[in-house]
């Protein structure tokens, strides 16, 4: 019997309607379109404005898009993983709510959090369940409502992040397609450079810290930038070497959309032409766990069976890694 690999067999995506443009940000903080565009590549991002709607709202929409496109009965799904850094609430699982709302009533579900690497690490988790033969249909959703913890008075962060969600289905494959290899890493010494300090178990929110805005995301942009460039490019290069691949073999780079300059640096390190680099940061900004599946969703019609794809991500923690995957359908 041939070895079972874990292939992506469907994708879906969702972004909210409200478009927060660089022009609008110019009216909110001391910044300008030219600075944001040249430093990050971002022109606009989507924001979920409606009161009471959290990350699950985005996750449900992306999952429903996938179910519709694949004509999949949600009752056939075994497991729903929601990769997110912005769960709906403490204690209650965002994935459990999402799974029930989409009708995946035979599935179990849980959240997975590794900041901007959540979806990449989730690909490893979802694939392992499939490869082991334990489950046949694993729905992996990357969703984040970043606007829920961004300070729209802080120009260092509010220009970068947006809201969105993407979903993929992993199923067994006997043609050797799907996930081939991975290099995943973390280093907790990086956590001081990118975090929302208050609101977790170390520092619960108190009235005085609330006034100081310490529940919002803080980042030392320069340090994060340097580490992201070094580590994302490093793992992408190493996974190519490890699998005897050259730039000619690679059809696509699917890189976390945090900053166009970080993506370009990763592509340059593996000598990949711009035409092979998926890019949608200009439309959505950094949607954290949703960047990779939203790229797949936007580029789905251009993907061909057998395409060799390199995924790469870097995020808070620090967390980072690269995955090599063969696309499974036209
Ligand atoms: C945030 C980031 C775009 C800032 O770009 P940068 O080139 O490093 O800019 P710096 O932070 O050094 O700031 C340069 C200057 O621009 C200013 N500046 C910062 N944000 C600005 C903004 N939105 N508009 C205008 N000026 C801004 C700074 O105050 C600084 O001014 P100074 O030189 O007078 O002190 C960049 O560091 C970055 O992308 N970091 C990684 C972010 C990331 O990937 N985060 C998520 C990880 S998953």
CA-to-CA distance for 63 and 84, rounded, in angstroms?
Answer: 14
CA-to-CA distance for 19 and 162, rounded, in angstroms?
Answer: 9
SS3 236: helix
Roughly what angle, to the nearest 10 degrees, separates helices 118-131 and 291-299? 70
Pick from 320, 298, 323, 297: nearest CA to 309: 323
For 295-316, how does the pLDDT look when each residue is reduced to its tens digit (9 = 90+)? 999 999 999 999 999 999 999 9
For 236-283, how does the pLDDT look when each residue is reduced to its tens digit (9 = 90+)? 999 999 999 999 999 999 999 999 999 999 999 999 999 999 999 999
Q: Which residue has the tokens 């999952």?
A: 63
Q: Which residue has the tokens 């397609």?
A: 177
Supply 175's token pair: 């043609």
Say yes or no to pLDDT of 217 above 90: yes
CA-to-CA distance for 169 and 9, rounded, in angstroms?
Answer: 6
Catalytic status, residue 227: no
Q: How far is the CA of 318 from the centre of ligand 1 (A)?
A: 19
Catalytic status, residue 286: yes
The whole-number pLDDT of residue 172 equals: 98
Say yes or no to pLDDT of 177 above 60: yes
Residues in Cβ contact with 215 at an 8 Å cutoff, skipping those fewer than 6 apart: 149, 196, 197, 198, 199, 205, 209
**The sheet that has 178-186: what strands, in order across it?**
178-186, 319-326, 308-315, 252-255
Is the distance from the beta carbon of residue 222 to the nearest atom of ligand 1 less than 6 Å? yes
Is the distance from the beta carbon of residue 136 to the nearest atom of ligand 1 less than 6 Å? no
The whole-number pLDDT of residue 209 equals: 83
The whole-number pLDDT of residue 47 equals: 98
Say yes or no to pLDDT of 1 above 80: no
What is the share, in percent, of the chain residues with pLDDT greater than 70?
100
CA-to-CA distance for 177 and 1, rounded, in angstroms?
Answer: 15
Residue 329's alpha-carbon distances to 104, 300, 326, in angstroms, are: 24, 10, 10
CA-to-CA distance for 215 and 198, rounded, in angstroms?
Answer: 4
CA-to-CA distance for 198 and 252, rounded, in angstroms?
Answer: 38
Is the distance from the beta carbon of residue 127 to the nearest atom of ligand 1 less than 6 Å? no
Catalytic status, residue 158: no
Pick from 45, 55, 51: nearest CA to 23: 45
Hey, whose CA ends up nearest to atom 17 of ligand 1? 156
For 58-85, how does the pLDDT look when each residue is reduced to its tens digit (9 = 90+)? 999 999 999 999 999 999 999 999 999 9
Is the distance from the beta carbon of residue 327 to the nearest atom of ligand 1 less than 6 Å? no
pLDDT tier at 211, thresholds 50, 70, 90: confident
CA-to-CA distance for 161 and 146, rounded, in angstroms?
Answer: 6
Q: How far is the CA of 173 from the centre of ligand 1 (A)?
A: 44
**Taking a C-beta distance cutoff of 8 angstroms, is the pair 44, 282 a contact?**
yes
């Amino acid at each position: 019997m041939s070895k079972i690999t874990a292939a992506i067999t469907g994708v879906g995506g969702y972004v909210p309607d409200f478009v927060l443009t660089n022009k609008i940000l110019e009216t909110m903080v001391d910044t300008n379109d030219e600075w944001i565009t040249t430093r990050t590549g971002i022109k606009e991002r989507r924001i979920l404005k409606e009161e009471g709607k959290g990350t699950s709202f985005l996750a449900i929409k992306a999952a429903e898009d996938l179910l519709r496109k694949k004509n999949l009965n949600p009752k056939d799904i075994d497991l729903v993983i929601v990769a997110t850094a912005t769960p709906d609430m403490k204690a209650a699982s965002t994935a459990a709510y999402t799974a029930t709302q989409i009708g995946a009533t035979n599935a179990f579900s849980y959240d997975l959090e590794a900041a901007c690497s959540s979806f990449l690490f989730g690909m490893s988790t979802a694939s392992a369940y499939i490869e082991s033969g334990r489950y046949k249909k694993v729905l992996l959703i990357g969703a984040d409502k970043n606007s829920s913890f961004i300070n729209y008075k802080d120009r260092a962060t509010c220009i970068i992040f947006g809201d969105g969600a993407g979903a993929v289905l992993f199923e067994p494959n006997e043609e050797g397609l799907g996930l081939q290899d991975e290099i995943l890493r973390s280093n907790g010494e990086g956590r001081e450079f990118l975090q929302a300090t208050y609101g977790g178990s170390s520092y619960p929110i108190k009235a005085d810290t609330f006034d100081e805005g310490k529940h919002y995301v803080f980042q030392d942009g320069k340090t994060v930038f340097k580490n992201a460039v070094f580590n994302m490019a490093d793992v992408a290069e190493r996974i190519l070497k490890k699998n005897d691949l050259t730039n000619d073999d690679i059809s696509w780079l699917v890189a976390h959309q945090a900053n166009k300059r970080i993506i370009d640096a990763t592509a340059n390190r593996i000598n990949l032409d711009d035409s092979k680099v998926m890019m949608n940061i200009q439309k959505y900004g950094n949607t954290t766990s949703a960047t990779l599946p939203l790229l797949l969703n936007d580029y789905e019609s251009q993907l061909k069976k057998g395409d060799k794809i390199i995924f790469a991500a870097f995020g808070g923690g620090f967390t980072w890694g690269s995955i090599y995957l063969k696309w499974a359908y036209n």
